[in-house]
Amino acid sequence: MSGTSQVKRSTLRQQIADALRDEVLAGRLPAGQQFTVKEMADQYGVSATPVREALLDLCAQGLLDVEEHRGYRVHEFTFGDYRDMVEARTLIVEGMFRRSAETALDAATPQVLASVRRRAEAAQRAALTGDLDILIGYDLRFWRELSGLVGNSYISDILERVRVQSWVFSVPHLRRLPDLRGLLWAEHCALVEAITRRDVRAAEAIVTAYNAHSIALIGSLPAPPEGAGAAGAPGPSEG
């Protein structure tokens, strides 16, 4: 295979993986849904090889499960999983603040900080207006750029994985609400300002409040119907 062909296949693999991840994030591929490589290859009009590779990538990210002789299934996260995700992202972010905030800010250029602020502003606007689809994209970019200040790609990758999984679980629940205005966390800009001031305690307090808000909000909502989203969330009385 020529180098050009390898690049094209690799690019196609990534494009398919990104497209499928977006489908899972948006809830259009709901938890528990099964499909085969052939079905996805037919849907995207491509050969089976890049589709199979993309699906394996999503399995590695914890979004899909391989079912022997049956294809793939969108992973079903439980409310217990969601609690663990929130705890994990808390530990990652707090560690990032405590050990790397000073060094990261000293190395960050004004252009980089301005970009983080723009992401924060866009995510905050989407949260305040209750636009879930817009929020997910900007929120992921915001945290990716924020963690990128640390200069450690492993931290950024791990945090992104956990944040994607937490959105995958929570989106089906949130979509059952008729109006999300005023319900979603919208303190992105306050967090950026605390970090810019090198106020680690304030930043940690904002993140702690954010995670408590996430658990309380999702815990107060009934689980989506079976087959329509994630499983195992408690009802309102258990939040």
pLDDT in tens, 12-50: 999 999 999 999 999 999 999 999 999 999 999 999 999
Distance CA 137, CA 208 (A): 22
CA dihedral 25, 29, 34, 37 (to 10 degrees): -80
pLDDT in tens, 107-148: 677 888 899 999 999 999 999 999 999 999 999 999 999 988
The more confident residue out of 100 and 223 is 223
Are 25 and 60 members of one domain? Answer: yes
Distance CA 54, CA 52 (A): 5
Neighbour count for residue 5 (Cβ, 10 Å): 9
Model confidence at 233: pLDDT above 70: no
Model confidence at 234: pLDDT above 50: no
Are 144 and 216 members of one domain? Answer: yes
Range name among 96-110, 182-196, 199-213 with the lowest pLDDT average:
96-110
Q: Which residues contact 115 (CB under 8 A, 6 or more apart)?
A: 145
Per-residue confidence (pLDDT) for residue 198, from 0 to 100 = 82
Are 191 and 128 members of one domain? Answer: yes
Classify 94 as helix, strand or coil: helix
Among the candidates 74, 92, 127, a domain finishes at: 74
Q: What is the mean pLDDT of residues 195-220?
A: 91
Instruction: Domain of residue 177: give its range.
Output: 79-238
Total domains in the fold of the chain: 2
Are 89 and 111 members of one domain? Answer: yes
Question: What CATH number should be reported for the domain holding residue 22?
Answer: 1.10.10.10
Among the candidates 50, 74, 98, a domain finishes at: 74
User: What is the reported pTM?
Assistant: 0.85
Distance CA 128, CA 130 (A): 5
Per-residue confidence (pLDDT) for residue 237, from 0 to 100 = 29
Are 9 and 122 members of one domain? Answer: no
Are 60 and 113 members of one domain? Answer: no
Distance CA 19, CA 24 (A): 9
Are 205 and 183 members of one domain? Answer: yes
Half-sphere exposure of 32 (CA within 13 A, CB side): 11
Are 155 and 216 members of one domain? Answer: yes
Are 22 and 106 members of one domain? Answer: no
Neighbour count for residue 80 (Cβ, 10 Å): 11
Among the candidates 37, 55, 74, a domain finishes at: 74
Per-residue confidence (pLDDT) for residue 101, from 0 to 100 = 56
Are 187 and 127 members of one domain? Answer: yes
Distance CA 100, CA 173 (A): 35
The more confident residue out of 179 and 196 is 179
Are 165 and 67 members of one domain? Answer: no
From the list 13, 27, 53, the residue with the least C-alpha distance to 175 is: 27
Are 121 and 189 members of one domain? Answer: yes
Distance CA 190, CA 121 (A): 10
Q: 123 near 138, Cβ under 8 Å?
A: yes
pLDDT in tens, 58-107: 999 999 999 887 899 999 999 999 999 999 999 998 888 776 655 666 66
Question: What CATH number should be reported for the domain holding residue 231?
Answer: 1.20.120.530
Model confidence at 236: pLDDT above 80: no
